[in-house]
Every structure is written in structure tokens, then in C-alpha cells.
Amino acid sequence: MVAPKLVVEGLSISYGGKTVLHDINLEVQENEIFGIIGPANAGKTSFLKAINRMSDFESDMQVSGTIRFNGRDIRTLRNLYAYRSRIGVVFPLPVGLPLTIYENVALAPRLRGVKHRDELDEMVERCLKRAALWEEVKDRLHVLGSLLSGGQQQRLTIARALSQEPELLMLDEFSIAVDPVTTMRIEDVLKELKREITIILVTNLVQQARRLADRTAFFLEGKCVEIAETEALFTGTVQDQRTRDYIEGRFG
């Protein structure tokens, strides 16, 4: 069996003494979409922050436990910037940087040191196409990204994440600001991307996890209640009562 992409062992996170995540243990396999569902305050977003060590930027956030990426304990990483550049992140609300559409997508390649215009052009086009945005913006690449509509900005954010050429893509409730049709288009993109990269999909849409995720974890109040093959989770073969309640919409 192939070694897992990401191994999380005994991960706990607290903010100034208040624990938001208790003792999480899980593995994410290469080329899988790993879904995380759960109600608000389940610690999903904190979990993502710990993975790319954005926790370093928050002085009151304490992380304990081990996270291994490609087998390497991320606490021992020297070049955190290179590490973060291999992980794309998409937030719930789109963050169009105050740059042109083109520069939004060209930023990550530029940070890597790509300078040639052709190379950048090609990369921008490819990423925008993958994020299902190219057709709408190809004639106005040099207007500000922040002038796009919310849904377009979110696809721009996804294009930007892809421009990092990430090994791991973490989506945090990406579809909140996106209309259903676009959501479906992005979901198709994700299914295709799975062949090349690993995806962690945090979602509050239970059905989205069902459509996309190979395996799904249910987080509740800072604990990982269970992890299972998505189909098993939804058909009820392995199921905790709390998971069943959540999936069937009895709370959360």
C-alpha cells in the first residue's frame, strides 16, 4: 500500500486554554478527496490551519500532536514557505487580492520565481480554465479581481490556489458564496483534479461530501466522531448515532 499523503496523530488545538480540537487521528491518502463534515465550532477550520502551519501566525493558538506530510513531521520543517506553497487553500468567503485578475493567478508562480511572460500567460490560462472562469474573464484579464462578482471571485481564488501547483488542496466550505450551477462545475473540476492531487474538502453541505468525498470524517465539538468510506457513512453501515442525526438533518 502507498504511504499516506498526510498523517495526523493526536492533534489537539487550543486557543488560550480553550480547547477546540481534541486528539484527532486520521490519515489522508494520496489522490483521494477527504471530506470533513460537521456543524459550526466543530474545529474544522482550526484543523486546516494546523495542517499548513498557519497556526504560527496566531500567537494564541497552541497546537500539539504530530502531523506528517509525505512522511515528514511538519514541526521539523525549515522552509515553511516552500511547504505552504505546496498546499492550496480556499476560504469560505472569496479573497480576491487587490490585483488584476491576471496578477491574482500569476502571483504564486511569480513568488516561485517564474518570470517569462509566455510561461505566466500559459499558467494563468490553464488555472482559470480549470476553475471554470476563463470564458467569463478572458477578455478582461487586466481589470481588478475584486470587481468580479462573489461567485467569480471564489473561482478566482480557486484558480489562484491551483496556480501554486499544489500537492494538497484544502477547501474550506468553498461553495458558501457560489451559486449552485457554478458549484457543480467546480465539483466536476475537483473530481478531475483528484487524479493528480490530494484534496481535503471541508463542507457544511452533507450532500456535497457524499458527491465528492472518497472517505468522510464527521467532526463534532472538537472531536472526530468517526471516519468512514463516504458511501458507508451515508448508507448507514458504519455509523455513530450522532453522525446519523447530523446527516439526516436532525441537528446542526
Length of the chain as a residue count: 252
Residue among 101 and 227 whose Cβ is closer to other proteins: 101
Does 45 engage in binding with other proteins (CB under 8 A)? no
In the sheet with 72-73, reading across from the earlier edge strand, the strands are 18-28, 6-15, 61-69, 72-73
Minimal distance, residue 116 CB to other proteins, in Å: 18
Q: Determine the interface stretch with other proteins among 28-36, 38-46, 89-97, 223-231 (rule: CB under 8 A).
A: 89-97
Name the segment binding other proteins (CB under 8 A); options: 29-37, 108-116, 196-204, 240-248.
108-116
Tell me the one-letter amino acid at 230. T
| Pairing, β 198-202 against β 168-172 | parallel
Which helix (H) or strand (E) segment holds residue 223: the answer is strand 223-229
Q: What are 201's three cell numbers?
A: 474538502
C-alpha–C-alpha distance, residues 134 and 127, integer Å: 8
Residue 177 sits at φ, ψ, to 5 deg, of -100, 15
Out of 26, 144, 176, 225, the residue judged to bind other proteins by CB under 8 A: 144
- List the grid coordinates of 152: 467569480
Closer residue to other proteins (CB): 91 or 219:
91
Answer yes or no whether residue 176 interacts with other proteins by CB under 8 A.
Answer: no
In contact, 156 and 96? CB cutoff 8 Å: yes
| Cβ-based nearer residue to other proteins, 29 or 100 | 100
Run of H or E residues at 207: helix 206-212
Q: Which of 99, 114, 189, 228 binds other proteins (CB under 8 A)?
A: 99
Show the site string, 57-76: x = touches other proteins by CB under 8 A, - = not: x-x-----------------
26, 61, 77, 97: which one binds other proteins (CB under 8 A):
97
Choice between 77 and 225, CB closer to other proteins: 77
Using the rule CB under 8 A, is 164 a contact of other proteins? Answer: yes
The sign of the CA dihedral 16, 77, 67, 96 is positive
Stretch that binds other proteins, among 52-60, 129-137, 198-206, 242-250 (CB under 8 A): 52-60
Q: Bridge-partner residues for 8, per DSSP? A: 26, 67
The residues binding other proteins (CB under 8 A) are 52, 54, 57, 59, 81-89, 91, 93, 95-99, 107-108, 110-111, 144, 146, 157, 160-161, 164
